[in-house]
């Protein structure tokens, strides 16, 4: 039902619901801040948001979902212009490989700058996955849940893979089966797992090399990627020099 079709009480309830969810997400982002270490309970998140843990549970199914939505909020400035630009037909960067590197490095850098939130999200995901598996909900639910981790990154990657340079390999771009050695979803998840295990200041650069090298080897196997580290370093310098 569209909002204009709601009655006054329903509109008021919907407005309150949106404001509460916004307060929870904003409180979570502010609480974790740009910290490298640390985690918080739902009670602490609720205190930062000005609501109770019970209220959070009424709006989100788990702590993982709260952290995931907060992480998506952080990524939105990186992902939304790409996705919307593609929808409008105006997304056309001059070099697809450089654009892929730019996106992966930018995501890795932001995730590292907000490493406490990123790590807490990944660990909460593992906890929720263990609960799902132990309760034997079934293989299909298990696989669907597994795909959720890298979802925020996946949208940007898939938009980039529609660029002409990558369209030359449509069978590699569109394959999603688990026998594929390096699927797009694996690239997205792999970035987050790499951040989890990399805490030093060079982590974003190292993670970018780790994600892009096998990814490009699958997408464009005819290319010689021996100079990829130097290319990544060049793109990294441009990203770091750009105004925030």
- Right CATH number for 1-60 from 1.10.4100, 1.10.760, 3.40.50, 1.10.10? 1.10.10
Q: Is the pLDDT of residue 95 over 90?
A: yes
Q: Is the pLDDT of residue 2 over 80?
A: no
pLDDT class for 168, splitting at 50, 70, 90?
A: low
In the chain, where the domains are located:
1-60, 64-241
Among all chains, which residue has been given the structure tokens 């987050």?
A: 192
Q: Is the pLDDT of residue 105 over 80?
A: yes
Supply the pLDDT for residue 148.
58
Determine contact, residues 118/111, Cβ cutoff 8 Å: yes
pLDDT class for 169, splitting at 50, 70, 90?
A: low
d(CA 129, CA 122): 10
Residue length, the chain? Answer: 244
**Per-residue model confidence as pLDDT tens digits over 52-79:** 999 999 999 899 999 999 999 999 999 9
Rounded (5°) CA angle 230-232-236: 115
Average pLDDT, rounded, for the chain: 83
The structure's pTM equals: 0.85
Q: Is the pLDDT of residue 140 over 50?
A: no
């Amino acid at each position: 039902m569209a909002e204009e079709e709601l009655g006054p009480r329903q509109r008021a309830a919907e407005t309150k619901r949106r404001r509460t969810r916004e307060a929870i997400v904003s409180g979570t982002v502010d609480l974790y801040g740009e910290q490298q270490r640390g985690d918080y309970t739902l009670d602490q998140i609720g205190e930062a948001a000005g609501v109770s843990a019970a209220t959070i549970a009424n709006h989100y199914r788990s702590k993982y979902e709260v952290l995931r939505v907060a992480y998506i909020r952080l990524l939105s400035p990186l992902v939304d212009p790409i996705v919307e630009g593609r929808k409008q037909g105006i997304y056309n960067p001059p070099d697809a490989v450089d654009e892929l590197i730019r996106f992966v490095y930018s995501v890795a850098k932001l995730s590292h700058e907000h490493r406490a939130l990123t790590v807490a999200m990944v660990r909460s995901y593992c906890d929720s996955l263990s609960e799902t598996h132990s309760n034997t909900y079934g293989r299909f639910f298990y696989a669907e849940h597994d795909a959720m981790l890298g979802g925020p990154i996946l949208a940007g990657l898939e938009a980039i893979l529609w660029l002409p340079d990558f369209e030359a390999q449509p069978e590699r771009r569109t394959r999603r089966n688990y026998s594929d050695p390096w699927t797009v979803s694996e690239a997205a998840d792999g970035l987050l797992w790499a951040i989890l295990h990399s805490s030093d200041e060079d982590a974003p650069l190292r993670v970018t090399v780790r994600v892009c090298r096998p990814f490009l080897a699958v997408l464009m196997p005819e290319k010689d990627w021996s100079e990829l580290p130097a290319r990544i370093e060049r793109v990294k310098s441009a990203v770091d020099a750009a105004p925030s």
